Chain A
Amino acid sequence: MSIANFIPGQPILSWILAIICGMLILYFIRPSVHQLLDNLTTLIVQNLRLLSRSLSVSAKHMSERNKEVLLEHGKQQAERELERQFIRLGKLVEKDLSRYPTVQRDIEQNISAMEDKLTQTAVVPAPLPEWTEAVESISKLKDTTKNDAVVGKLLQAIYEAFHTQQKEVMDTYKKDISKRHNLLKSAMNHWRHLLEKLGNVESHWQHLNDQAKKIDLQVERFDNMVKATDKAERLLKSSNSTQFFISLVVMAIAGFGAFVNYNLIALPMSELMPATSQVAGYNVADIGAAVIIMLELTVGLFFMEAIGITRLFPVIHFMEDRKRMIWACVCMVFLLALCCVEAGLAYMRETMVADKALLTSFLVAGAESTQGSQIESSNIPMIGQMTLGFVLPLILMFVAIPFESFIHTGRHALGTVIIQLFILSSTLFRSVSLFLKQFTASLKNIYDIFCFAPLWLEQLIEQRPTSSKKNKLEPSNKEPKKLNQEVDEIATPELESNIDHDSDSSISTPIKQGA
């Protein structure tokens, strides 16, 4: 029976009747529907908010833990750097101090040599003979007697003797002066030597000073980390991210290297291991090749640990130096053995490839064709493969350094990503809860539209006796306030607990009003 036939022959009246009945039914069940909607919304919204809050708290805890990890890693690094600086400084001081007695002796020798030279230069040259003054006075006598040849000759002789004597004295004097100059010149070398020595000492002290400044900086950095300052955290974060990406790139390159290595030995491994067996769908020979590469990597890691480059295994790191060196030697022996095995496998691979090629040509063109191809074969690929087989494990050994960096920095990077995901999820849950609340309010309004006539009548009736009941309709005006509250809650999660009480009450209010 259709709605149009409620009143036979009156479809319009039937429809009007049906609509009025529908409206009345909707009006009578309105409080229950509103309560149902409110209850459902409260259930979902509260759960979402609970989830959101727990995610926020988890993110906060993780952030704190991440910071601790970061600072701890930073402290470890700073300790290592400080340790290295102290070792360097200690060696420097030891080297300089061992050199100082020699330098001191050298300087003293130079000084005593210079003193000797100066003493030698202090010797006064012999004075001119005293009789020269007498001769000079005779030579100044006046020629009183003319043509006195004897006096003339005498004076001439005295004059010549005087000049000869003067010349000799002058020569002696010049020689002495020259000798003293030479002595002073030789003292110059001692001066230079002394200057050089003192210059060296100064540069050594300068170097020591620089090292001490570096240590000061390191200590300051370490101090910041111990105090967990924001500056130290910021610096560590940026350094951590850079290290993480660098190590990731290097490890990717190493991964390609390992792949090349794998392909080099996978085929010949089928000669050593049963090619017809499989584990989890993979050939045993292929798994064997992968295991060999992993063993090489492991031995490489142990070797790097033993020589003190990485610090992944405390057991190895805290071994006695002698034991650690023995361990390093053992690792190197194993690594070289594995290198030799790989080189042998590479040789075998080339032989197998050549054999396969021979078989193919034999099957395609007969026995005659195989003889020609044997002659044309070259040893270059085989040598190349053998070299690669020997060298690649040694190169892969160095992956321990980026691996260590990756492990240390990856923890923080992963933590950061998880924190961001938690925050994002928390925000999403809060947005969904907000949306649901608004959606429920809209649904209720839409519901009210379907029973507008009884509601209008109810309002008219309620308005007539007292005007004070107007206030009952006010909750609809409160909706924007609630929206603002929600926005505030998202913006300031710290104030959650206080706002939660308010918002819970805001949810319950319309329920009471609706009821």
Chain B
Amino acid sequence: MKPLLLAIKLTLIIAMLGACTEQKPSTGLYMLLDTSGTYTKELKKAQQIIHYYLGTLGPGDSFAVARIDSGSFSEKDIVAKVTFDHRPSRANEQKRQFANTISQFIDSVKSSAYTDINGGLLLASEYLNETQANKKVVMVFSDMQEELPVGYKRDFNLALTNYEVIALNVTKLRSDNKDPKMYMERMSKWQQRVEESGGKWRVVNDLEREGSLAL
């Protein structure tokens, strides 16, 4: 009788411990790289940022890099994606492979004629929802000037509740220099779109500032 009671007690303790066990809060990061026009020259900076996040993200976190081209709402535009293994050694190996893939992409990227940022954002939200990460961050490495090919419609509603959208390295266009109001209107429009979708909006242009890239 006593061993039986002991076994029941042990089972209960293990069950309680199991119930107490929870998943560590994970981060999902989706980075959109603008490959339109002359912006491809900026991609080396993007590579450094990707390397920074590869060093920062840990086991259980998800990371994906996708390109923004004429029609970005396509899985083909995802350059690399990974959910890091819970074993640090395996996660390090995944990071190396990821870095190599990004390096190859940046060396061989070709400019696209148009810039479909909304399609990229939709793809990012789908991916991050699947990862079930606690913290979801979308980074847009672009000048935020959207140009859609004829026939493409991007007037859908984005579901970005609990998302943080960070616009990185938003370069000023020639037209912005002539009329800065255009730049301000553009940024304001994006901020409004993200915030209306339930997300948080942030712009980071000074990439060297300490803490600017902190998640």
A residues adjacent to B (C-beta < 8 A) = 267, 270-271, 274-280, 283-284, 351-352, 355-356, 359-360, 362-364
Query: In the assembly, what is the distance between CA of A381 and CA of B151, in Å?
Result: 64
The answer on a CB contact under 8 Å between B59 and A270 is yes
The answer on a CB contact under 8 Å between B55 and A359 is yes
Shortest C-beta distance, B2 to chain A (Å), equals 16
Given known pairs A355-B89, A363-B51, the reply for A278 and B24 (CB within 8 Å) is yes
Query: In the assembly, what is the distance between CA of A394 and CA of B12, in Å?
Result: 34
Q: Which of B30-38, B67-75, B92-100, B111-119 contacts A (4 or more CB under 8 A)?
A: B92-100
Instruction: List the B residue with the shortest CB-CB distance to A370.
Output: B96
> Looking at the complex, which one of A276, A355, A359 makes contact with B60 (CB distance below 8 Å)?
A276
The answer on a CB contact under 8 Å between B86 and A275 is yes
Residue among A276, A278, A283, A364 with max Cβ neighbours from chain B (10 Å): A276
In the complex, whether B22 has a CB less than 8 A from a CB of chain A is yes
The answer on a CB contact under 8 Å between B92 and A355 is yes
In the complex, whether B58 has a CB less than 8 A from a CB of chain A is yes
The answer on a CB contact under 8 Å between B89 and A363 is no
Query: In the assembly, what is the distance between CA of A280 and CA of B21, in Å?
Result: 7
Query: In the assembly, what is the distance between CA of A277 and CA of B21, in Å?
Result: 7
Query: In the assembly, what is the distance between CA of A201 and CA of B87, in Å?
Result: 72
Q: List, sorted by A's number, 27 A–B pairs whose CB atoms are closer than 8 Å.
A: A270-B59, A270-B86, A271-B88, A271-B89, A275-B24, A275-B58, A275-B86, A275-B87, A276-B23, A276-B24, A276-B60, A277-B21, A277-B24, A278-B22, A278-B23, A279-B17, A279-B21, A352-B88, A352-B89, A356-B92, A359-B92, A359-B95, A359-B96, A360-B55, A362-B96, A362-B99, A363-B52
The answer on a CB contact under 8 Å between B23 and A363 is no
In the complex, whether B26 has a CB less than 8 A from a CB of chain A is yes
> Looking at the complex, which one of B55, B86, B96 makes contact with A276 (CB distance below 8 Å)?
B86
Residue among B54, B58, B92, B95 with max Cβ neighbours from chain A (10 Å): B92
Instruction: List the B residue with the shortest CB-CB distance to A359.
Output: B92
Shortest C-beta distance, A498 to chain B (Å), equals 55
Interface set, chain B 96-133, CB cutoff 8 A to A: 96, 99
Query: In the assembly, what is the distance between CA of A267 and CA of B17, in Å?
Result: 22
Q: Which residues of A contact B59 (CB under 8 A)?
A: 270, 275-276
Instruction: List the A residue with the shortest CB-CB distance to B22.
Output: A278
In the complex, whether B20 has a CB less than 8 A from a CB of chain A is yes
The answer on a CB contact under 8 Å between B26 and A276 is yes
Residue among A280, A283, A363 with max Cβ neighbours from chain B (10 Å): A363
The answer on a CB contact under 8 Å between B54 and A363 is yes
Instruction: List the A residue with the shortest CB-CB distance to B100.
Output: A367
Closest 6 CB pairs of A and B: A276-B60, A363-B51, A275-B59, A274-B86, A276-B86, A276-B24
Q: Which residues of A contact B87 (CB under 8 A)?
A: 270-271, 275
Shortest C-beta distance, B153 to chain A (Å), equals 40
Given known pairs A276-B60, A283-B24, the reply for A270 and B54 (CB within 8 Å) is no
> Looking at the complex, which one of B21, B60, B95 makes contact with A363 (CB distance below 8 Å)?
B95
Query: In the assembly, what is the distance between CA of A362 and CA of B55, in Å?
Result: 10
Shortest C-beta distance, B19 to chain A (Å), equals 10
Q: Which residues of A contact B58 (CB under 8 A)?
A: 275
Query: In the assembly, what is the distance between CA of A355 and CA of B94, in Å?
Result: 13
Shortest C-beta distance, A320 to chain B (Å), equals 24
State how many residues of chain B have any CB contact under 8 Å with chain A.
22
Q: Which residues of A contact B51 (CB under 8 A)?
A: 363-364
B residues adjacent to A (C-beta < 8 A) = 17, 20-24, 26, 51-52, 54-55, 58-60, 86-89, 92, 95-96, 99
Additional A-B contact list (7), CB under 8 Å, known A274-B86, A359-B92? A275-B24, A275-B88, A277-B24, A277-B86, A284-B21, A362-B96, A363-B52
Query: In the assembly, what is the distance between CA of A363 and CA of B59, in Å?
Result: 17
Shortest C-beta distance, B207 to chain A (Å), equals 15
Q: Which residues of A contact B26 (CB under 8 A)?
A: 276
> Looking at the complex, which one of A276, A279, A355 makes contact with B20 (CB distance below 8 Å)?
A279
The answer on a CB contact under 8 Å between A275 and B96 is no
Q: Which residues of B contact A363 (CB under 8 A)?
A: 51-52, 54-55, 95, 99
Q: Which residues of A contact B52 (CB under 8 A)?
A: 363
Q: Which residues of A contact B96 (CB under 8 A)?
A: 359, 362
Shortest C-beta distance, A214 to chain B (Å), equals 48
Query: In the assembly, what is the distance between CA of A262 and CA of B99, in Å?
Result: 33
Query: In the assembly, what is the distance between CA of A376 and CA of B150, in Å?
Result: 58
Shortest C-beta distance, A81 to chain B (Å), equals 39
Shortest C-beta distance, B40 to chain A (Å), equals 20
Query: In the assembly, what is the distance between CA of A364 and CA of B92, in Å?
Result: 14
Query: In the assembly, what is the distance between CA of A352 and CA of B90, in Å?
Result: 11
Q: Which residues of A contact B86 (CB under 8 A)?
A: 270, 274-277
Query: In the assembly, what is the distance between CA of A271 and CA of B60, in Å?
Result: 13
Query: In the assembly, what is the distance between CA of A280 and CA of B24, in Å?
Result: 10
Q: Which residues of B contact A352 (CB under 8 A)?
A: 88-89
Q: Which residues of B contact A362 (CB under 8 A)?
A: 96, 99
Instruction: List the A residue with the shortest CB-CB distance to B95.
Output: A359
Q: Which residues of B contact A277 (CB under 8 A)?
A: 21-24, 86
Instruction: List the A residue with the shortest CB-CB distance to B59.
Output: A275
> Looking at the complex, which one of A267, A279, A351 makes contact with B22 (CB distance below 8 Å)?
A279
Query: In the assembly, what is the distance between CA of A363 and CA of B99, in Å?
Result: 7
Instruction: List the A residue with the shortest CB-CB distance to B60.
Output: A276
Q: Which residues of A contact B54 (CB under 8 A)?
A: 363
Q: Which residues of B contact A364 (CB under 8 A)?
A: 51
Query: In the assembly, what is the distance between CA of A484 and CA of B88, in Å?
Result: 77
Query: In the assembly, what is the distance between CA of A359 and CA of B22, in Å?
Result: 29
Q: Which residues of A contact B17 (CB under 8 A)?
A: 279
Query: In the assembly, what is the distance between CA of A356 and CA of B51, in Å?
Result: 13
Q: Which residues of A contact B20 (CB under 8 A)?
A: 279-280
